[in-house]
């Protein structure tokens, strides 16, 4: 283990000695400053500090007294229990051993106390308090006794039963991940060798029929004799790759749409480098969505198109719709927003990464390279759910010494993309920092964006446990539109709630709540339905676009295919 540890240290220090990786000093300094504001509130009043310490000590003393009773053979009610969904303490050792049970409860009491300290700190700027809550949660998650060999009963058993072989294998896994990350810890969440885009992921048959500097446009081959007359254009987010909507054949939303008799096109964004540094939001609109609309019209013979925007792809689509409304362009007949925010007032924990100081640091880094590295955004997303996406893999990979299981969704999650400097800066400033798009203060190509001008029919999908686009935030944005809107809430989260094929009969969705400005009132009155929202969407789409025509050949006889789907762009690694 010591030998492997030396290799891990070399893999970590090597790039730093050559100044090939940043040391995160500015990020750490900002975090310390944030937490210090909370500490200042409590230290300013000795009486307040004493009461807070007494509250913590009372919890510890209660745990100590209960532990002594358990050691004496008495049955006692625990001082605190972990959440029923908390997988960290599922092993029976945490319950059976009075010592480990006490350690677990002491940790839970401490973390709750720390969260209360932030919550009760008065006079803090709301953004500062939000950052402090997030940081305290990250620290709490990191110091959990489940993350360390000597304080986790399951890891102790594993180490004894294998004579420490698990730690040797774990250290080798750590070395491999540091080498793969170029000195940064790139935690493997799945067996990356088990999947390949184009082989067992993104396999729906189709062709790339157009490409430019920013995107390829894919048209999928029909599987039915007739198709809906109105074609469908999918606008995925550029911060992830489009094949989240075309995973395995059983999970592919794109394949399901094709099998329902739709002519489906999707944009596959380029994985940008310094050559796209100056490409902004308006470039992604003009060279992405607008150019794709032109191409879809040529290939399908139809001027009117239905569009689907996912996450930030939906935000771009909403601004494009507002731009088209202002300029008299009516080519989009209706649209679907999947977990899309237009108003970012309640945009969740991602807002903790966005303030003027942090943006200045980020923009300086992007200016040097021309883009934001994909690993930076991937790390931010993982931190939003660190107890699901970071620490279980630290324990499994480095403590248990096991390889992660093959999982297509986590392969996609690790297949990150870069972001052009200009585009990413516009997005963060006009959405998360100033909310200018919702406020009607943003511009694209010289046109003021007013989303209230959007009058086309809209299907707006949110997901109940979304940590990126919270459902109340999606609801507020949907209510800013002026056309008929069907708001639907799916079970689960940002990905699983969207990628939920009907055959699985998983989760549920809610619809038809009372129309109005209040999300809470809508949720109280909405009707619950078992299973996937996909059939509900198809019913909605068919009500607006019932006409059918014979199935279309790819390219419509007017555009020559460039290459097979999924194309080159999506295979470019960061």
Predicted confidence (pLDDT) per residue in 131-184, tens digit: 999 999 999 999 999 999 999 999 999 999 999 999 999 999 999 999 888 888
Write down the pLDDT at residue 3.
87
Structure tokens at 151: 């304080």
Based on the number of CB atoms within 10 Å of its own CB, is 50 exposed (0-12), middle (13-18) or buried (19 or more)? exposed
Give Cα 325 distance to the centre of its chain.
30
Write down the pLDDT at residue 23.
58
Write down the pLDDT at residue 375.
85
DSSP 500-536: --GGG--SEEEE-PPPSS-HHHHHHHPEEEES-SHHH
| Inter-residue contact 375 to 416 (CB < 8 Å) | yes
**Would you say the pTM of this structure is higher than 0.75?**
yes
Q: Which residue stretches of the chain have pLDDT < 50?
A: none
Instruction: Determine the 3-state secondary structure of 451 from DSSP.
Output: helix
DSSP 241-306: -GGGGSSSTTT-HHHHHHHTT--EEEEEE----GGGTT--HHHIIIIIIIHHHHHHHHHHS-S-EE
What is the C-alpha separation between 487 and 114, in angstroms, rounded? 38
Please tell me which residue in 202, 311, 433, 462 is annotated as part of the active site: 311
Structure tokens at 311: 């996450």
Write down the pLDDT at residue 184.
85
Write down the pLDDT at residue 539.
98
Is 311 one of the annotated active-site residues of the chain? yes
Write down the pLDDT at residue 4.
84
Radius of gyration over every alpha carbon of the chain, rounded to an integer in angstroms:
26
Structure tokens at 377: 């955004």
Cis peptide preceding 363, ω within 30 of 0: no
């Amino acid at each position: 283990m010591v030998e492997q540890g030396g290799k891990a240290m070399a893999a970590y220090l090597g790039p730093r000695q050559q100044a090939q990786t940043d040391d995160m000093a500015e990020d750490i300094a900002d975090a310390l400053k944030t937490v210090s504001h909370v500490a200042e509130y409590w230290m300013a009043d000795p009486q307040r500090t004493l009461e807070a310490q007494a509250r913590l000590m009372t919890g510890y003393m209660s745990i100590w007294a209960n532990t002594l009773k358990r050691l004496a053979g008495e049955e006692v009610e625990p001082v605190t229990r972990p959440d029923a969904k908390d997988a960290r303490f599922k092993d029976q050792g945490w319950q059976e051993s009075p010592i480990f049970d006490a350690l677990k409860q002491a940790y839970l009491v401490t973390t709750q106390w720390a969260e209360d300290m932030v919550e009760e700190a008065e006079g803090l700027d709301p953004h500062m308090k939000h950052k402090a809550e997030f940081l305290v949660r990250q620290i709490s998650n990191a110091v959990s006794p489940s993350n360390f060999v000597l304080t986790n009963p399951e890891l102790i058993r594993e180490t004894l039963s294998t004579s420490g072989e698990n730690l040797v294998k774990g250290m080798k896994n750590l070395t491999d991940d540091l080498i793969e990350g170029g000195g940064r810890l790139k935690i493997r969440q799945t067996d990356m060798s088990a999947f390949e885009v184009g082989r067992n992921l993104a396999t729906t048959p189709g062709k790339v029929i157009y490409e430019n500097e920013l995107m390829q446009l894919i048209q999928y081959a029909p599987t039915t004799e007739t198709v809906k007359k109105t074609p469908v254009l999918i606008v995925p987010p550029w911060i992830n790759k489009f094949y989240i909507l075309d995973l395995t054949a059983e999970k592919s939303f794109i394949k399901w749409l094709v099998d329902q008799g739709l002519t489906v096109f999707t944009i596959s964004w380029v994985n940008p480098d310094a050559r796209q540094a100056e490409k902004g939001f308006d470039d992604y609109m003009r060279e992405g969505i607008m150019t794709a609309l032109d191409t879809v019209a040529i290939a399908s013979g139809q001027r009117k198109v239905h569009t689907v925007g996912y996450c930030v792809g939906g935000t771009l689509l909403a601004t494009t719709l507002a731009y088209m409304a202002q300029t008299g362009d009516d080519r989009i007949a209706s649209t679907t927003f999947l977990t899309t925010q237009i108003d970012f007032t309640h945009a969740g924990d991602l807002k903790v990464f966005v303030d003027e100081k942090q943006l200045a640091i980020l923009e300086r880094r992007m200016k040097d390279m021309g883009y934001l590295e994909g690993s930076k955004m991937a790390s931010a997303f993982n931190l939003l759910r660190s107890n699901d996406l970071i620490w279980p893999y630290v324990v499994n990979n480095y403590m248990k010494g096991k390889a992660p299981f093959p999982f297509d969704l986590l392969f996609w999650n690790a297949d990150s993309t870069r972001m052009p400097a200009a585009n990413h800066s516009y997005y963060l400033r006009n959405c998360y920092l100033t909310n200018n798009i919702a406020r009607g203060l943003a511009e694209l190509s010289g046109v003021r964006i007013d989303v209230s001008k959007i009058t086309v029919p809209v299907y707006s999908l949110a997901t109940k446990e979304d940590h990126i686009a919270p459902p109340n935030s999606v609801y507020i944005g949907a209510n800013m539109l002026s056309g008929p809107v069907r708001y639907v809430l799916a079970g689960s989260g940002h990905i699983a709630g969207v990628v939920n094929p009907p055959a699985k009969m998983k989760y549920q969705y809610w619809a038809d709540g009372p129309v109005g400005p209040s999300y809470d009132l809508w949720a109280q009155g909405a009707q619950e339905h078992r299973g996937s929202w996909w059939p509900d969407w198809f019913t909605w789409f068919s009500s607006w676009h019932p006409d059918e025509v014979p199935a279309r050949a790819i390219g419509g006889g007017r555009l020559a295919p460039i290459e097979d789907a999924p194309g080159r762009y999506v295979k470019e690694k960061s």
